Structure 1
Amino acid sequence: MSTPTTSFGREAAAAIARSKNEPQWLVSLREEAGELVANLELPKPEKMPVQRWTLDQYGSDRPGTTVTSRADLPAAISALLPEDQGSSIIVQHNSSIIYAQLSDELKAKGVLLLSLEEAARTQEKLFREHFMTAYTQDEHKLAALHAALWNGGVFLYVPRDVIIEEPIQALLFADDAEATFMPHILVIADNNSRVAFVEQVATSIEGSAATLLHNSAVEVFTKAGAVVRYAAVHQLDDSAIDIAYRRAILGNDSRIEWIIGDLHNGNIVSDTKSVLQGNGSTSDSKIISIGTASQKMSLTTQAIHHGLSTESDMITRAVMTDKATAIINGITKIEKGATKSNGQQTERVLMLSPTARGDANPILLIDEDDVKAGHAASVGQVNAEQVYYLMSRGISRREAERLIIHGFLDPVVADIPLEGLREQLHRIIARKLG
Structure 2
Amino acid sequence: MSTQLSTPVNRQSVEALSHSKGEPAWLEALRAKGAELAETLEWPKPEKIRIDRWNLTALGNYKQEDAIASVDELPESVRELLGNASAGLLVQRNSSNILKQLSPELQAKGVIFTDLETAAREHSDLVEKHLFQAVAQDENKLIALHSALWNGGIFLYVPKNVEVELPLQALMYNDDSTATFAPHVLLIADNHSRVTYVDNVTTAYTEAGQPLAKQMVVEVFVKPGAHVRYATIHNMADNIIDLTIRRAVVENDARVEWIVGDLNDGHVLSDTQSILRGKGSSSDAKAITVGRNAQQMSLTTGAVHIGRSSESNMVTRAVMKDKATAIINGITKIEKGATKANGVQTEKVLMLSPKARGDANPILLIDEDDVKAGHAASVGQVNVEQVYYLMSRGITKKNAERLIIHGFLAPVVSEIPIEAVREQLQHLLERKLEG
Q: TM-score, normalised by structure 1?
A: 0.98
Name the counterpart of 1:48. 49
C-alpha displacement of 1:3: 5.1
C-alpha displacement of 1:222: 0.4
Q: CA–CA distance in 2 between the matches of 1:143 and 1:45?
A: 14
- 1:8-19 mapped onto 2 (5 Å cutoff): 8-19=9-20
| Correspondence 1:299 to 2:266 | no
Name the counterpart of 1:125. 125
- SS state at 1:330 partner: strand
Contact 2:308 2:337 in 1 (8 A): yes
| Correspondence 1:313 to 2:313 | yes
Q: CA–CA distance in 2 between the matches of 1:430 and 1:71?
A: 27
| Correspondence 1:357 to 2:357 | yes
Name the counterpart of 2:36. 35
Which sections of structure 2, spanning at least 5 residues, go unmatched? Answer: none
Q: CA–CA distance in 2 between the matches of 1:209 and 1:77?
A: 17
Contact 2:189 2:227 in 1 (8 A): yes
Contact 1:95 1:182 in 2 (8 A): yes
Change (3 A) 1:85 1:28: closer
Name the counterpart of 1:26. 27
Name the counterpart of 2:408. 408
Q: CA–CA distance in 2 between the matches of 1:419 and 1:58?
A: 34
C-alpha displacement of 1:87: 4.1
Corresponding pairs, count: 432
C-alpha displacement of 1:144: 0.6
Q: CA–CA distance in 2 between the matches of 1:13 and 1:397?
A: 56
Name the counterpart of 2:143. 143
Partner amino acid for 1:332? T
With 70-79 and 421-430 compared, the bigger mean Cα shift is at 70-79
Q: CA–CA distance in 1 between the matches of 2:237 and 2:76?
A: 18
- 1:222-261 mapped onto 2 (5 Å cutoff): 222-261=222-261
Q: CA–CA distance in 2 between the matches of 1:395 and 1:73?
A: 41
C-alpha displacement of 1:86: 2.4
- 1:256-271 mapped onto 2 (5 Å cutoff): 256-271=256-271
| Correspondence 1:103 to 2:109 | no
Partner amino acid for 1:78? R
Q: CA–CA distance in 1 between the matches of 2:184 and 2:281?
A: 25
Contact 1:185 1:218 in 2 (8 A): yes
Partner amino acid for 2:164? I
C-alpha displacement of 1:297: 0.2
Q: CA–CA distance in 2 between the matches of 1:425 and 1:85?
A: 17
Partner amino acid for 1:21? G
Contact 2:6 2:61 in 1 (8 A): no
Q: CA–CA distance in 2 between the matches of 1:400 and 1:76?
A: 30
Name the counterpart of 2:67. 66
Contact 2:87 2:106 in 1 (8 A): no
* Aligned residues: CA RMSD: 1.2
Deviations 1:311-351 (A, max 9, x none): 00001110000000000000000000000000010110000
Name the counterpart of 1:381. 381
C-alpha displacement of 1:100: 1.2
Name the counterpart of 1:428. 428
Identity score, percent: 57
Contact 1:160 1:192 in 2 (8 A): yes
Which sections of structure 1, spanning at least 5 residues, go unmatched? Answer: none
Q: CA–CA distance in 1 between the matches of 2:37 and 2:391?
A: 58
Deviations 1:273-329 (A, max 9, x none): 000000000000000000000000000001000000000000111000000000000
Name the counterpart of 1:332. 332
C-alpha displacement of 1:2: 6.3
- SS state at 1:61 partner: strand
C-alpha displacement of 1:58: 1.0
C-alpha displacement of 1:70: 3.0
Q: TM-score, normalised by structure 2?
A: 0.97
Q: CA–CA distance in 2 between the matches of 1:213 and 1:179?
A: 10
C-alpha displacement of 1:19: 1.8
